[in-house]
Structure 1
Amino acid sequence: MATVEDVRRVASALPRTEEHLIRDRVKFRVGRIVYVAISADEEWMGFAFPKEERAALVAGEPEKFRLPRLSDQRFNWVEVRLAMLDEQEMRELVVDAWRMVVPKKVAASVPGA
C-alpha cells in the first residue's frame, strides 16, 4: 500500500519538483504545472495522464482508477485510490506524470525515468 510519504519521497527526488499545500491538498508541481495531487483525506492521488489513454485505464480497473470531476476532465488527469497501489506502481505513475511536464532533456537526465 502506497502512502503520502511514499509519494513525497519519490516526487521530491525528481528535478524541478516543488511541493505545495493548497486548500489542504498536497500538490507536486514543476513551475506552475501540477503533476501529482493528494486529496485532503489522503485517499486519492490525482496524476497527469494522457487524455487519450485514460478511458482504457479507468475501464480496466474501475475500483482503482477514476476520472476526475467533470470540470477537471479537460486536463490530462486521472485519480487512483492510494491504498490500492503498491510502491512500484505508485513510483511509475508519479515518474510518468512528472515526465509529461518537464523538458525531454530533463526527463532523460533521471535514470529509469
Structure 2
Amino acid sequence: MPTLDDLRRLSLALPGAHEVNFKGDPWFNVGKKTFALHLRGRTIMKLDKEHQHFLFEVRPETFQKCPVGAGVWSYVALERLDDGELADLLLEAWSTIVPKKVSRPVLEAAKA
C-alpha cells in the first residue's frame, strides 16, 4: 500500500518534476503546471480524460471525480493501489502536462 512518501518519491523521479508546498500540502509540478497533489489528506491526479472516466466506472472505490477545472482531475485512494499502479498513474498524470516531445521517449522507455 503506497504512502505519501511513495507519492513524493515516484513523482520527483519524473523528468523536470519538483515539489511545491501549498498551505502545508505537497503539490508536484513541472514548471508551474501541477500533475499530482496531496490536499487535506487526499491524493488528486490529472489523468487522461477517457481513462479517468473508465476508472470511475470500474473502480469507484478507488477513483472519484474531483470537481476542479475542466474535469480532468481525479481523487485517488492511495491505500487501494500498489506501488506499480501508482507509478503508472503518476507517469500518466505527468504526461498530461509536459510537451509530447518530452513525454514520448519516457513513455516508450516505460513500455519496454
Which of the numbers 47, 56, 60 marks the counterpart of 2:54?
56
Structure 1 position 75, deviation (Å): 4.0
Q: d(CA) in 2 for partners of 1:108 and 1:53?
A: 18
Counterpart of 2:86 in 1: which secondary structure?
Answer: helix
Q: Which amino acid aligns with 1:81?
A: A
Matched-pair contact (CA < 8 Å) for 2:28–2:35: yes
Which runs of no fewer than 5 residues in structure 1 stay unpaired?
A: none
Post-superposition, which runs of at least 4 consecutive aligned residues in structure 1 deviate over 3 A? none
Which runs of no fewer than 5 residues in structure 2 stay unpaired?
A: none
Map residues 1-113 of structure 1 onto 2, 5 A cutoff.
Answer: 1-41=1-41, 44-69=42-67, 72-110=68-106, 111-112=109-110
Q: d(CA) in 2 for partners of 1:82 and 1:75?
A: 20
How high is the TM-score relative to the length of structure 1? 0.85
Q: Which amino acid aligns with 2:30?
A: V
Question: What is the percent sequence identity of the aligned residues?
Answer: 30
Q: d(CA) in 1 for partners of 2:2 and 2:82?
A: 5
Counterpart of 1:19 in 2: which secondary structure?
Answer: strand
How high is the TM-score relative to the length of structure 2? 0.86
Structure 1 position 8, deviation (Å): 1.2
Matched-pair contact (CA < 8 Å) for 1:24–1:40: no
Matched-pair contact (CA < 8 Å) for 2:35–2:93: yes
Superposition RMSD in Å = 1.7
Counterpart of 2:61 in 1: which secondary structure?
Answer: coil
**Residue-by-residue CA offset, 1:74-111 (whole Å, 9 max, x unaligned):** 24211111111100000000011101111122223433
